[in-house]
């Protein structure tokens, strides 16, 4: 999903407008899928529906803050800021299970923030890189919470149904603020961008992502996706001419190191747990 970030630059419209179009087309695509397959999208209770719908509002805020982070800075800064979310997941996931957060996760979070400080040349709101990092971190927290809540519901409902409901919520919340949406969709080039963004990078990619949460912890699944900032930054370099400064590679290396370290740590813990069960 790393190349999705290119659309934040290729579409010259506010983040809310881009995400509104993305969600709307994704709803239409998934709705057609359900209709052709004859699948039901009903919930066992209205409470479950409201819960998933509420997660969709978080999803909307995550997308908007993520794209805005990229628009005010660069693709690389936005992506690296977002990819602190595996560390936030490591802190929050035990809390969702009624356990205390792992102290080492806090250490990794602090080390990740150190990496973010290396990216930003000036800790001032007047600096666009700093703005990008702040919005990216907000997006990371929202994404971590969204994934944890989604994992809870995926036990009971299919991934495509959960995503469909979340996208409906995203559309309803953002469409009233989507300034210039019809202008964007009237341009054939931008219309094609939106269809690709909705079909490949949203409907398909996020359905697969949610499905992966049934077999992996949110932390592990997030960490396995840490290659995204690398190929996403390279794609922005090639297609948009955004040459990452040396300090960005250094800070990004620190952030990704924390994320990868966390997945190895989780795997080691899982291995020990398995050995104990065998005994």
Give the model's pLDDT for residue 34. Answer: 87
The whole-number average pLDDT for the span 242-249 is 71
At a CB cut-off of 8 Å and minimum separation 6, what does 84 contact?
Answer: 109, 112, 113, 116, 136, 137, 140, 255, 258, 259
**Does residue 139 carry a pLDDT above 70?**
yes
Which regions of the chain does DSSP assign to beta strands (E)? none
**Does residue 276 carry a pLDDT above 90?**
no
**Does residue 231 carry a pLDDT above 70?**
no
Task: Round the average pLDDT of the chain to a whole number and report it.
Answer: 80
DSSP assignment letter at 43: -
Give the model's pLDDT for residue 140. Answer: 92
Give the model's pLDDT for residue 217. Answer: 59
Residues 122-147: b if buried by 16+ CB within 10 A, e if exposed: eeeeeeebbbbbbbbbbbbbbbbbbb
| pLDDT tens sequence across 12-52 | 999 999 999 989 988 998 888 888 888 888 899 999 999 99
Give the model's pLDDT for residue 59. Answer: 92
| pLDDT tens sequence across 182-207 | 999 999 999 998 888 887 777 776 66
Give the model's pLDDT for residue 277. Answer: 38
Q: How confident is the model at residue 71 (pLDDT cuts 50, 70, 90)?
A: very high
Give the model's pLDDT for residue 9. Answer: 85
**Does residue 177 carry a pLDDT above 60?**
yes
The encoded tokens of residue 86 equal 């595996």
Q: With contact defined as beta carbons under 8 Å apart, do 73 and 133 qualify?
A: yes
Q: How confident is the model at residue 211 (pLDDT cuts 50, 70, 90)?
A: low
What Cα–Cα distance (Å) separates residue 164 from each residue in 33, 110, 203?
A: 10, 35, 8
The whole-number average pLDDT for the span 149-164 is 85
Give the model's pLDDT for residue 263. Answer: 62
Give the model's pLDDT for residue 94. Answer: 80
The whole-number average pLDDT for the span 201-218 is 63
Give the model's pLDDT for residue 83. Answer: 79
Distance between CA atoms of 231 and 213, rounded to whole angstroms?
A: 23
| pLDDT tens sequence across 93-134 | 887 777 777 787 778 777 777 777 777 777 788 888 899 999
**Does residue 245 carry a pLDDT above 50?**
yes
């Amino acid at each position: 999903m790393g190349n999705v970030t290119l659309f934040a630059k290729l579409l010259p419209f506010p983040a809310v407008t881009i995400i509104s179009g993305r969600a709307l087309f994704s709803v239409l695509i998934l709705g057609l899928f359900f209709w052709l397959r004859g699948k039901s999208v009903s919930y066992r209770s209205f409470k479950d529906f409201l819960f998933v719908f509420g997660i969709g509002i978080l999803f909307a805020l995550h997308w908007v803050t993520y794209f805005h982070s990229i628009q005010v800075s660069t693709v690389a800064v936005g992506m690296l800021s977002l990819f602190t979310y595996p560390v936030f997941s490591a802190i929050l996931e035990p809390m969702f299970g009624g356990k205390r957060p792992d102290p080492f996760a806090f250490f990794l979070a602090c080390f990740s923030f150190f990496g973010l400080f290396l990216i930003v040349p000036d800790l001032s709101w007047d600096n666009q890189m700093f703005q990008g990092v702040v919005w990216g971190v907000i997006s990371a927290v929202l994404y971590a919470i969204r994934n944890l809540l989604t994992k809870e519901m995926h036990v009971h409902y299919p991934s495509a149904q959960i995503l469909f409901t979340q996208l409906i919520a995203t559309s309803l919340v953002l469409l009233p603020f989507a300034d210039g949406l019809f202008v964007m969709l009237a341009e054939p080039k931008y219309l094609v961008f939106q269809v690709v963004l909705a079909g490949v990078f949203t409907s398909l990619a996020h359905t697969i992502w949610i499905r992966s949460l049934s077999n992996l912890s949110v932390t592990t699944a997030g960490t396995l996706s840490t290659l995204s900032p690398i190929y996403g930054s390279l794609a922005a370099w090639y297609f948009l001419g955004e040459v990452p400064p040396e300090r960005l590679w250094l800070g990004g290396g620190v952030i990704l190191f924390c994320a990868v370290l966390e997945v190895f740590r989780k795997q080691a813990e899982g291995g020990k747990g398995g050995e104990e069960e065998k005994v």
